[in-house]
Amino acid sequence: MTAVSETIAPAKPMPQRRTNLYFVWCGVLGDPVARVAAAIIILLVLMAIFAPWIAPFPPNEANPALRLMPPGTEGHLLGLDNQGRDILSRIIHGSQLTLISGILPVILGAAISIPLGLIGAWYPRLGEVIMRVMDVLFAFPMALLAIMLAALMGPGLVNMMIALVITLVPYNTRVVYAAARQERELAYVEASRAMATPDLKILFVEMLPNVVAASIVYSCTIVGAVVITAAGLSFLGLGVQPPIAEWGIMTSEGRSFVFVAPHIAAIPGLAITLLVMAFNLLGDSLRDSLDPKTRLTLVKHRPGPGGG
């Protein structure tokens, strides 16, 4: 506790209030791994936005003469697939749908499960009902449930995303519920009640910031699984339909040629790995920079450009 008195004693002129965003900024910039992860994600997003301009070929333009050619072929940096389409162009165009189908369901899922988990933890009876419903969804493996729902609703990008959201809700709800149950027992919640804070305000103003970090970190790590599940659904013909470029479809299409031309499956596979890894690493760093107990050390001991 000596550190505390040292930091409080000198009355330095300090910024009035440092926001969460400031700490996320410092945490990410100060941590080299997170910096790389953030850079990869930003690059992928830029690639998705500017795909039509940066891709050397249209995604579905086939050149049958060069089919199955390996990476390094003249004019086709990453080679060509079984129909003679340029893989680099397809990767660039495919990043659009891959990012959307990987990130949007996670965000929507979190938006549903955070209130569900919080309310469930606050009202025990309702919580029991919510969690038992979640248990029913849990009983199915993630991919199987998504397949079932997507098959019920019919193929298509929107239906696939709805199916993914429903599949994700139980996982994230359980994370939030567990965190909120712990939080509810802490004295500051009782103090909030003693000072006449309305129930909903306790939940969404006092408890939410303490609970949401767990959910953000979890959401970041699950983006990878969602990309893979979305790819699986597309492979089964329940999601994005070929010939649209999407990394999952590209991987599964390349599957049949894995001995003849392994690069067709390997390159989009590597792209997925890169995306998943970037989100996982960013999730780790976010956890540190969102926790008020660890984030001060981030600012102090890591001399980043934004720290001080």
Partner 1 sequence: MNAQKNLIDVRGVSKTFTVKSGTFFRKAAASTKAVNNVSLTIRKGEILGCVGGSGSGKSTLGRMIMRLIEPDDGAILFDGTDLRTLSPEAMRQYRKRLQIVFQDPLQSLNPRRTVAENIARPLMNFGTSPAVANRRVDELLELVGLDPRQSYRYPHEYSGGQCQRIAIARALALEPEFLFLDEPVSALDVSIQAQILNLLSELQKKLDLTFLFVSHDLKIVKQFCDRTVVMYRGCMLETGTSEEVYRDPKHPFTRDFLGTVLHVRKDSRWEQAAERAEDLESATRQSEAGCIYAGTCADRFQRCREAAPALTEIEGARHVACHLYSQPKQ
- If the CB atoms of residues 1 and 152 are measured against partner 1, the closer one turns out to be 1
Residue 54 and residue 47 in contact, taking contact as beta carbons nearer than 8 Å: yes
Considering only 74, 136, 195, 259, the residue that binds partner 1 (CB under 8 A) is 195
- Amino acid making up residue 51: A
Q: What is the DSSP string of 145-214?
A: HHHHHHHHH-SSHHHHHHHHHHHHHHHHHHHHHHHHHHHHTSHHHHHHHHTT--HHHIIIIIIHHHHHHH
Query: Is the CB of 14 or the CB of 65 nearer to partner 1?
Result: 14
- Backbone dihedral angles phi then psi of residue 185, each to the nearest 5 degrees: -80, -10
**Residues 270 and 91: beta-carbon distance below 8 Å:** no
Smallest separation (angstroms) from partner 1 to the CB of 116: 18
Scanning residues 203 to 222, which ones bind partner 1 (CB under 8 A)? 206, 209-210
Q: Is 19 in the site for partner 1 (CB under 8 A)?
A: no
What pairs with residue 86 in β-bridges? 80
Q: Are 270 and 79 in contact (CB under 8 A)?
A: no
At closest approach, how far in Å is the CB of 3 from partner 1?
Answer: 9
Q: How far is the CB of 258 from partner 1 (least distance, A)?
A: 49
CA atoms in the 13 A half-sphere facing the CB of 122:
20
- Residue number with CB closer to partner 1 (119 or 163): 119
Find the shortest distance in angstroms from Cβ 182 to partner 1: 12
Tell me if 90 sits within 8 A of 250, measured CB to CB: yes
Q: Please report whether residue 296 would count as binding partner 1 according to CB under 8 A.
A: yes
Q: How many angstroms from the chain centroid is the CA of residue 188?
A: 31
Nearer to partner 1, 61 or 128 (CB): 128
Phi, psi of 80, rounded to the nearest 5 degrees: -130, 155
Using rule CB under 8 A, residue 141 touches partner 1: no
Cβ-Cβ contacts under 8 Å for 294 (sequence gap 6 or more): 288
Q: What x-and-dash track marks residues 90-119 binding partner 1 by CB under 8 A?
A: ------------------------------
Contact 239, 229 (CB under 8 A): no
Contact residue for partner 1 among 95, 101, 159, 192 (CB under 8 A): 192
Residue 187 sits in the site that holds partner 1 (CB under 8 A): yes
- Residue 2 beta carbon to partner 1: minimum distance, rounded to whole angstroms: 9
Site for partner 1 in 259-288 (CB under 8 A): none
136 near partner 1, rule: CB under 8 A: no
Residue 62 neighbours by CB distance under 10 Å: 17
How many binding residues for partner 1 (CB under 8 A)? Answer: 32
* Interface residue list for partner 1 (CB under 8 A): 1, 4-5, 7-8, 11, 14-18, 128, 132, 186-188, 190-198, 201, 206, 209-210, 292-293, 296
